[in-house]
């Protein structure tokens, strides 16, 4: 799809031989040449147009590029823009329908208008829509969008962005966890009840199974979103989207001082969490498979077997759609991912050899060695687990639950050091990131404790406490002591080690993992 090339170069328009009787404009078209079955009048008009070129054809303007692309790729057969195109009633009734039973009227059958599409969609999303099936969010439409060559898509995206340019639409509102929480309430049944018609992070809505709200942030420009919510009918004449802020006034005067724009900004903050969106009030989580574990209002801690982790796996799934897997054979965090949590059918009937994997997305594999080790010297090799290794990173002592959040606090003993680790999600635009807090207590005579902060093919130090690991993720480290990070190569991997001084008998380390 991305390597379209002509079979052979075409002749420039200015170099065409218009007197060639065997050409596509001639009376005796040779075998192999295209026959467009042109009438005499059509031939005459085309020849007159070609003869009028006295100098090279000028490049098309952005507006001309948009119109030419929509016409040449027959986008007008399905889409309307500026009053041109769109299917006739006869064609619509014959070819456009829904794939499922859904009460959306014509809006659920007919492809959307392309008016102002360059201001509506983020460029990356538009390019993906045109070249692949990513962001094809109207799952209920039976007639599907074809894919187009990447050069055509890139040219169109650039041109339509220039024609429809609304610089203010790209401006993001400030994100805060408080704002996202308010937005979550608006989406639920105690607010605007958006979940009546919209799915949330793969979970069904209460009635009409419309577009999933977790896809909005990656597709839509924030300013267009705000303008649309303030006056939906001005963008879609026959839309079923209600106008929740008539004349810019809110019915919720006790929330954010009744400021409509601030209220919409809070919804945008919530949508920016994407697959990490905690479910709003009214969504009853259920798994897509029979034994799927779905964290709703509190974390789930689950002992299991897991692919690429092992038989002593302890999982935690958070309502913020962030999930972690621990390998307590080695005593390490093995994986972190977003979205759906885990299928526990592998251990439903007792011990088994069924090792299942994460159900979600954005799976990040973490170092195969233990989190902590005592080293005789900074160059001492980090312990590497073998297939039958057990407790090389300490002895697992179980876990407790935080009384306020129900989040787990894992406990393990490594020689003289007692270690507690508390994983937690930190919500932010693009999805939750991971925060790990370690509290270490030990004999003050203990020396040589090191924390393996990360390892990868390459490591770039961005600051004293922040590092980029390959193209995969970034880590930030904070400590109760001055950091003296060590970047070193072991085997084929580059490691980040943090020496942890225990001369005071205790220390704490905080790690943020962003990917």
Domain boundaries, the chain: 1-58, 62-165, 169-276, 292-514
pLDDT exceeds cutoff 60 at 1: no
- 274 close to 431: Cβ distance less than 8 angstroms: yes
Q: Cα separation of 213 and 295, whole Å?
A: 19
Average pLDDT along the chain: 92
pLDDT tens-digit readout, 393-447: 999 999 999 999 999 999 999 999 999 999 999 999 999 999 999 999 998 778 9
pLDDT tens-digit readout, 227-253: 999 999 999 888 889 999 999 999 999
Fold annotation for 169-276: Cytochrome Bc1 Complex; Chain D, domain 2 (1.10.760)
501 pLDDT tier (thresholds 50, 70, 90): very high
pLDDT exceeds cutoff 80 at 387: no
- 454 close to 495: Cβ distance less than 8 angstroms: yes
pLDDT tens-digit readout, 326-377: 999 999 999 999 999 999 876 655 555 578 899 999 999 999 999 999 999 9
Q: How many CB atoms lie within 10 A of CB 497?
A: 22
- 139 close to 99: Cβ distance less than 8 angstroms: yes
**Both structure tokens of 79:** 């889409």
pLDDT tens-digit readout, 371-384: 999 999 999 999 99
pLDDT exceeds cutoff 60 at 44: yes
Burial tier of 345 (Cβ tally within 10 Å: 0-12, 13-18, 19+)? middle
Beta bridge partners of 486: 497
Fold annotation for 292-514: Beta-galactosidase; Chain A, domain 5 (2.70.98)
C-alpha 217, offset from chain centre:
8
Count how many residues are written for the chain: 515
What pTM did the predictor assign? 0.76
């Amino acid at each position: 799809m991305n390597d379209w090339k002509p079979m052979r170069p075409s002749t420039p328009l200015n170099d065409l031989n218009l007197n060639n009787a065997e050409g596509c404009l001639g009376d005796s078209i040779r075998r192999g040449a295209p026959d467009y079955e042109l009438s005499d009048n059509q031939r005459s008009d085309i020849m007159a147009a070609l003869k009028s070129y006295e100098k090279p054809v000028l490049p098309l303007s952005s507006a001309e590029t948009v119109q030419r692309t929509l016409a040449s790729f027959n986008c007008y057969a399905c889409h309307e823009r500026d009053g041109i195109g769109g299917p006739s009633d006869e064609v619509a009734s014959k070819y456009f329908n829904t794939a499922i039973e859904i009460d959306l009227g014509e809006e659920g059958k007919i492809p959307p208008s392309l008016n102002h599409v360059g201001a509506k969609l983020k460029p990356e999303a538009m390019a993906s829509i045109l070249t692949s099936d990513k962001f094809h969010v109207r799952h209920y439409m039976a007639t599907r969008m074809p894919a187009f060559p990447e050069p055509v898509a890139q040219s169109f995206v650039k041109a339509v962005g220039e024609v429809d340019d609304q610089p203010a639409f790209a401006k993001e509102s400030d994100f805060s966890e408080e704002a996202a929480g308010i937005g979550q309430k608006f989406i639920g049944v105690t607010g605007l009840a958006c979940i009546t018609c919209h799915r949330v992070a793969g979970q069904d809505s209460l009635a009409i199974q419309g577009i999933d709200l977790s896809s909005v942030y990656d597709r839509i420009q924030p300013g267009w979103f705000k303008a649309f919510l303030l006056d939906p009918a001005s963008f879609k004449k026959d839309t079923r989207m209600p106008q929740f802020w008539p004349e810019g006034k809110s019915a919720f005067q006790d929330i954010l001082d009744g400021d409509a724009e601030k209220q919409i900004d809070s919804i945008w903050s919530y949508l920016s969490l994407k697959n990490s969106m905690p479910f709003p009030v009214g969504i009853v989580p259920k798994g897509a498979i029979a034994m799927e574990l779905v964290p709703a209002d509190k974390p789930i801690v689950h002992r299991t077997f897991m692919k690429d982790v092992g038989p002593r796996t302890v999982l935690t799934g958070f309502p913020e759609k962030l999930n972690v897997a621990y390998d307590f054979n080695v005593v390490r965090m093995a994986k972190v991912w977003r979205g759906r949590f885990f299928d526990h059918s592998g251990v439903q009937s007792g011990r088994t050899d069924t090792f299942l994997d994460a159900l979600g997305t954005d799976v990040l594999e973490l170092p195969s060695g233990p989190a902590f080790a005592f080293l005789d010297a900074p160059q001492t090799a980090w312990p590497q687990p073998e297939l039958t290794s057990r407790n090389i990173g300490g002895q697992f002592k179980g876990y407790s639950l935080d009384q306020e959040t129900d989040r787990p606090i894992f406990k393990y003993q490594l020689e003289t050091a007692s270690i507690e680790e508390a994983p937690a999600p930190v919500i932010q635009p693009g999805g939750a990131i991971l925060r790990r807090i370690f509290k270490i207590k030990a004999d003050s005579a203990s020396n040589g404790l090191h924390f393996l902060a990360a390892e990868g093919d390459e490591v770039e130090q961005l600051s004293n406490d922040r590092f980029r690991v390959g193209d995969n993720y970034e880590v930030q480290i904070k400590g109760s002591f001055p950091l003296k990070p060590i970047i070193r190569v072991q085997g084929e991997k580059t490691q980040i080690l943090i020496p942890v001084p225990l001369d005071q008998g205790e220390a704490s380390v905080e790690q943020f993992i962003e990917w």
